[in-house]
Chains A and B, each alone.
Chain A
Amino acid sequence: MAHDPVPGPEAEPAGGSLVASLMGRGRTARSAGSTGGRLPSTRSDVVQVLVLVAVVGAFLAWGLLGTPARNQLAIDVAMFVALAYAWNIISGFTGYVSFGQVVFFGIGGFVTAELIIHLQVPWFLATVLGGLAGALLAVPIGWVMLRLQGIYFALGMFGLAFVVSLLLSQWEFTGGSTGLVVPGVIAQQEVLLGVTGVAVLAFLMNAFLARSPFGLRAMAVRDDEQVAEAMGVPTTRTKVLAFTLSAVFPALVGGMVAYNRAYIDTSTMFNPAIDLQVIVLVLAGGIGTLWGPLIGAVLLTLVSHELATALPDHQLALFGALVILVTIFLPGGLVSLANRFGWLRREIVRGPAELPPEDELERALAAAHAPRDADRPAGEELLVASGVGVTFGGVQALRDVDFTVRRGETVFIIGANGAGKTTLFNAITGMVRTSAGTISFDGLPVQGVRAHVLARRGLARTFQIPRPFGSMTVWENVYLAALGGRHRRQAHAQAAWVVQVLGLQDIRFAASDTLAVGHRRMVELARALALGPSLILLDEVMAGMSDDELERVREAIRRMPSFGVDAVAGIEHVIKAIVDLADEIVVMDRGSRIISGEPNEILRHPEVIRAYLGSGPGLGAGTTATATDGNP
């Protein structure tokens, strides 16, 4: 699992999370045929709320009215539903699969128990305080642990839970190895109501995530963290918040369970099997979906209960076999079955059903976008890179490169493969570390500044190999970028404009991982534009496009100034497409800037012809405006 945090110049897109592509499979299969101008299913929220109320009502009737044994089983079911939804927040939506959320279950349990034992706090209040304690601890733990990725995070959390459990078992506070007796009356029905309440809250939190800007940001982290940063998503804050949310519910439930059982010790409260069971439940139901955890938790908890009664000796093995069967035959979970019929799809963050007429949109937006810093003169230096050097191992990828972009300018960089063009962009956006030189944007240094801060300061980029957020629609990709620091309604208008200008109306509800390469590049461009940048860096956006698409991109570049874009810098191989756009062309070769000037002057320059276009007979600049260097 080579999690390459910083791709080299021509690197493949960095791997996203483990979870990213488990979602939306049903949708993919369908939209592969038509590129998908289809509107998403618009189930009414009313129906979903009614279903929820009916389910909770039926569950409580079943649980409360039965025998004490039934009460107890119902508590277990509700507990696992709550734990499953909590886990789904960090692992399903945010993509950080954790094997150690049980640590918060245990902490909540012990804090609650101590409050009840020593301070005689009423149990309900005590559990709320236990939940708070879990949340408070989750912030520093998440801040540290979420630097790990993939399997490292998963097993790191497992290790953490183990260490915490081991250390607490030595401490008097937890009753050591003998455990704690929690005084209380047998109040299963009250506890059942409490745990069910937490489960409903956890469900609602997931519903909120499925459609809110915060949820969209979490999913962006899951799909491609590096791109999310570049699109203005404060990834660390997003992850830690999601982690904290997924810690609160286990802590609350842990407290209630402690009260319910009247006796707890570290080995039961920090039992890793709880986590493992939760993971299985969510996976079987459908990870990262809204209804999957509920279905998985209810069904499997009941099944597992039956197994435990019927075949106590083989319960583990049968459970294990069930997991294997799910992974082989139902990798998307039970929800994916329903998805085949179009039910229970992820709620799509919808764009406008009807886009307003283009000129109207443009007028509205132009009013909202008073050209940024109108008082500043064109020609002022916006981006200044001087003496920049970058080394990869022993390779000098960039050597003493100067690169300046002024307000009102459109600058293009050309050069053969390996000339260092993309590396220069990576250095400017803080994705590779420079070994020499300084870079400043809008008067402030960029080195050491996080990418999302730069993005919000007005520096946007596209990626050479398009990296759309695969589990989102085209609209969601664009809307997410437009959100960066904006009010929701404004972001909506911004995204609508971008979609319109780039001609993406017909594919705006298509899953972005099913797009053809030309469309993917359009989405790249759309996201960068939607950020509302002051300077936009375009890394070969025109490669692999049809003439039609090419013209649309060129048109968009021409119109950028009216929407607050002060300057454009691009890398391009399609020279004929940039000659009339560029104010200046910079030529790079083997890590150095060799020459620069006006387009026509550059294309006639003998050194450029030799180094870049080749020196064969008949390759004069005037006649070879279409030359490319074989880059795809």
Chain B
Amino acid sequence: MTYLQVVLNGILLGGFYLLMAQGLNLVFGVMGIVNLAHGAFIVLGGLGVWSLHGAGVNPFLGLLVVTVAGAALGAVVQWAVIERIRGTAKQHELLTLMATFGLSYILINVGQQVWGSDFRTIPYLQSAVTVGPFRFSLSLLVGVALAAAITLGLAAWLTRTRSGKSLRAQAQNPLGAGACGINPRRLRLVGFSVGAAVAAAAGMLLVLTQPIAPQAATSFTIVAFVVIALGGLGNYKGAALGAVLVGVVQTVAGYQLGAVIQAAAPYLMLILVMLFRPEGLLSRKVS
């Protein structure tokens, strides 16, 4: 019975990971950029909510605030940095990697100036919920529910609305999208902005369940990358599978093999999956 409980906790954790990865996936899908500052957006979002909570603001209101702030910050970054990087597709890939890496340094540094290097969490929704034989922490359940809502909202936006469809068109064929009258510049701005907003929102949910600090940003970037790489970069359904897999493997490894293996698990999964299915778990094999 405890074993099943561990697996269920892993699945819930996967819900978090999915939300953490969605923004990264979106930005990669639309612009072909792996945003190495993604984890910094997450951490700053979480710490922002922490500060608001300290000032007496309800975390859910805080969620709205940091989401909007994240969107604004993302738009500024896109306008001031990413959009200004020139070069062919190949150059662009490396240069944006470097630029977002530099950006993560800046954001982490700012975070440390504002919040210091202590790990912080919000003691909120601490009670436990009993479902049949299982017990879950309320914050985890609420977090997963919110994560699911945001993910579904994102999916609906991408498949139902005009701007969302334009975004997918841009992702699949930028030239064709341009020929159809889609303004790629504005779309990239929207894409990066939404990606950052989702990251900030993920940060809020994260800070409810575990302590975070600015210097942890890189590890969140990596976990998010592992999730989308497992599913195949840019593949939205694959990301869901990847997230659950990482969550379950991590909790089970932690339960059975200890904290070290738990921390190493995502990296080991990344290396193994990349070696055997470099195109991701769900992608059709190309030839």
Is B a genuine binding partner of A?
yes
**Is A4's beta carbon under 8 Å from chain B?**
yes
**Is A276's beta carbon under 8 Å from chain B?**
yes
Q: Is the CB–CB distance between A162 and B264 below 8 Å?
A: yes
**Is A57's beta carbon under 8 Å from chain B?**
no
**Is B73's beta carbon under 8 Å from chain A?**
no
Looking across the interface, which residue of chain A has its beta carbon closest to that of B270? A159
Q: Is the CB–CB distance between B275 and A147 below 8 Å?
A: yes
Q: Which of B81, B95, B99, B229 contacts A152 (CB under 8 A)?
A: B229
Q: How far is the CB of B235 from chain A (nearest CB, A)?
A: 11
Q: How many A-B residue pairs have CB under 8 A?
A: 140
Q: Is the CB–CB distance between A432 and B105 below 8 Å?
A: no
A-facing mask of B120-133, CB < 8 A → 1, else 0? 00000000000000
**Is A155's beta carbon under 8 Å from chain B?**
yes
Residues in A298-341 with C-beta less than 8 Å from chain B: 313-317, 319-324, 326-328, 331
**Is B254's beta carbon under 8 Å from chain A?**
no
**Is A16's beta carbon under 8 Å from chain B?**
yes
A-facing mask of B80-95, CB < 8 A → 1, else 0? 0100111111110111
**Is B2's beta carbon under 8 Å from chain A?**
no
B interface size (C-beta, 8 A): 48
Given A316-B105, A328-B81: A17 touches B287 (CB 8 Å cut-off): no
**Is A392's beta carbon under 8 Å from chain B?**
yes
Q: Is the CB–CB distance between A327 and B95 below 8 Å?
A: yes
Q: Is the CB–CB distance between B278 and A152 below 8 Å?
A: yes
Q: Is the CB–CB distance between B287 and A319 below 8 Å?
A: no
**Is A450's beta carbon under 8 Å from chain B?**
no
Q: How far is B1's CA from A453's CA once the two chains are assembled, in angstroms?
A: 56
**Is B267's beta carbon under 8 Å from chain A?**
yes
Q: How far is the CB of B114 from chain A (nearest CB, A)?
A: 12
On chain A, the residues within 8 Å of B104 by CB distance are 320
A interface size (C-beta, 8 A): 59
Q: Which of B90, B101, B109, B278 contacts A317 (CB under 8 A)?
A: B109
**Is B108's beta carbon under 8 Å from chain A?**
yes
Q: Is the CB–CB distance between A327 and B98 below 8 Å?
A: yes
Q: Is the CB–CB distance between A167 and B98 below 8 Å?
A: no
Given A5-B286, A158-B222: A21 touches B264 (CB 8 Å cut-off): no
On chain B, the residues within 8 Å of A144 by CB distance are 275
On chain A, the residues within 8 Å of B98 by CB distance are 279-280, 283, 323, 326-327
Looking across the interface, which residue of chain A has its beta carbon closest to that of B285? A393
On chain B, the residues within 8 Å of A5 by CB distance are 286-287
**Is B106's beta carbon under 8 Å from chain A?**
yes
Q: How far is B84's CA from A200's CA once the two chains are assembled, in angstroms?
A: 37
Q: Which of A15, A20, A320, A392 contacts B105 (CB under 8 A)?
A: A320
Q: Which of B84, B94, B99, B274 contacts A156 (CB under 8 A)?
A: B274
A-facing mask of B181-203, CB < 8 A → 1, else 0? 00000000000000000000000
On chain B, the residues within 8 Å of A433 by CB distance are 287
**Is B225's beta carbon under 8 Å from chain A?**
yes
Q: How far is B110's CA from A151's CA once the two chains are assembled, in angstroms?
A: 27
Given A159-B222, A280-B98, A331-B87: A151 touches B93 (CB 8 Å cut-off): yes
Q: Is the CB–CB distance between A15 and B91 below 8 Å?
A: no
**Is B13's beta carbon under 8 Å from chain A?**
no
Given A8-B287, A151-B34, A156-B271: A1 touches B95 (CB 8 Å cut-off): no
On chain B, the residues within 8 Å of A432 by CB distance are 287
Q: Which of A150, A154, A167, A316 contacts B260 (CB under 8 A)?
A: A167
Q: Is the CB–CB distance between B90 and A1 below 8 Å?
A: no
Given A279-B98, A327-B85: A166 touches B91 (CB 8 Å cut-off): no
Given A158-B222, A316-B108, 9 further pairs, Cβ under 8 A: A21-B90, A147-B275, A159-B271, A167-B264, A276-B101, A280-B98, A316-B105, A328-B84, A331-B86
